[in-house]
Amino acid sequence: MHRLTVFGATGRMGQAVLRAVRECGDFAVAGAVASAGSAALGRDAVLEGPPCGVRVSADAAAALGGAAVALDFSAPTAVAAHALACAAAGVPLVVGTTGLDPRTVEGLHAAAARIALLLAPNTSIGVNLLERLAVIAARGLGPAFDVEILEAHHRAKRDAPSGTAVRLGEAIAAAKGERLAEQALYERHGDVGPRPDGGIGFAVLRGGDIVGEHTVLFAGDGERIELTHRATDRMIFARGALRAAAWLVGRAPGLYRMQDVLGL
């Protein structure tokens, strides 16, 4: 059984992870971390349902005591500090938080020199298979097909496009021998002119309680291919995160992705 510390334990995904821990029986909660201003500090980490016996703390170092692995679904601004704490404690880390700025990503790369660190914009098994299928399609279809990535999430999601959509774009661009920064089309408003050759377009929808939907569209002359993943239950991300955490235990220091977990 693996002892697990959860960063962002009081958020939607943190609570889903704690429910998944109770489901699977392969993990025990070692620590639960929230921000210093959280109203849940001192409470049992499971805010609704049977208690887990671990109280919410703002002390990352203390929460890592005895942990075999950690999961981070906290705010983007907190991730770098959590990675530093994990590196100091020698605890491998799965980062599921999205919307990370370049400086935070740089810090994660530095931490990965000391611990096994898995960066997962989306921990759904299905979404990561979607990424692989999109790469195969991009290589097979070639430049004659325009690529568009459409994503939809609930009204409370703050970053756009989603981290998953961006990761899909990065994978497709790499399959075409390009960099997403040189291919991405994020904004369209007014008279933007014809679609540029080779671009990767993004469209974003926010509303209601949509858990997450991603479609990669390849549009050619006379035919179109659409690859779609729809999430209807946030628990799929929690279960995938636990699968990634179990896989990461005992790995050598380095930066890993969900594709590694799935052997893709």
The domain that holds 216 is classified in CATH as 3.30.360.10
Q: How many domains does the chain have?
A: 2
**Per-residue pLDDT at 140:** 96
Which CATH number belongs to the domain containing residue 241 in this structure? 3.40.50.720
Domain limits at 30? 2-119+234-261
Regarding whether 239 and 113 lie in a shared domain, the answer is: yes
Regarding whether 249 and 181 lie in a shared domain, the answer is: no
Regarding whether 114 and 170 lie in a shared domain, the answer is: no
Backbone angles phi, psi at 179, to 5 degrees: -110, 140
Regarding whether 212 and 159 lie in a shared domain, the answer is: yes
pTM for the full model? 0.83
Regarding whether 98 and 47 lie in a shared domain, the answer is: yes
**Per-residue pLDDT at 119:** 95
**Per-residue pLDDT at 43:** 96
Regarding whether 148 and 226 lie in a shared domain, the answer is: yes
Active-site choice (82, 154, 157, 214): 157
**Per-residue pLDDT at 179:** 95
**Per-residue pLDDT at 24:** 86
Active-site choice (82, 153, 176, 229): 153
Q: With 90 as the cut, is the pLDDT of residue 1 above it?
A: no
**Per-residue pLDDT at 170:** 95
CA distance 214 to 50: 34
Q: With 90 as the cut, is the pLDDT of residue 209 above it?
A: yes
Q: Mean pLDDT, the chain, as a whole number?
A: 95
Active site residue 189: no
Active site residue 176: no
Q: What is the pLDDT of residues 50-72, one digit of tens each?
A: 999 999 999 999 999 999 999 99
Q: With 90 as the cut, is the pLDDT of residue 2 above it?
A: yes
C-alpha closest to that of 4 among 241, 263, 258, 260: 241
Q: How confident is the model at residue 234 (pLDDT cuts 50, 70, 90)?
A: confident
Regarding whether 111 and 34 lie in a shared domain, the answer is: yes
Q: With 90 as the cut, is the pLDDT of residue 44 above it?
A: yes
Regarding whether 98 and 38 lie in a shared domain, the answer is: yes
Q: With 90 as the cut, is the pLDDT of residue 178 above it?
A: yes
Regarding whether 257 and 214 lie in a shared domain, the answer is: no
Regarding whether 171 and 226 lie in a shared domain, the answer is: yes
Contact 11, 73 (CB under 8 A): yes
> How many percent of the chain have pLDDT more than 70?
100
Kindly state the average pLDDT of the residues 166-186.
Answer: 95
Regarding whether 108 and 7 lie in a shared domain, the answer is: yes
**Per-residue pLDDT at 25:** 83
CA distance 148 to 208: 23
Regarding whether 83 and 131 lie in a shared domain, the answer is: no
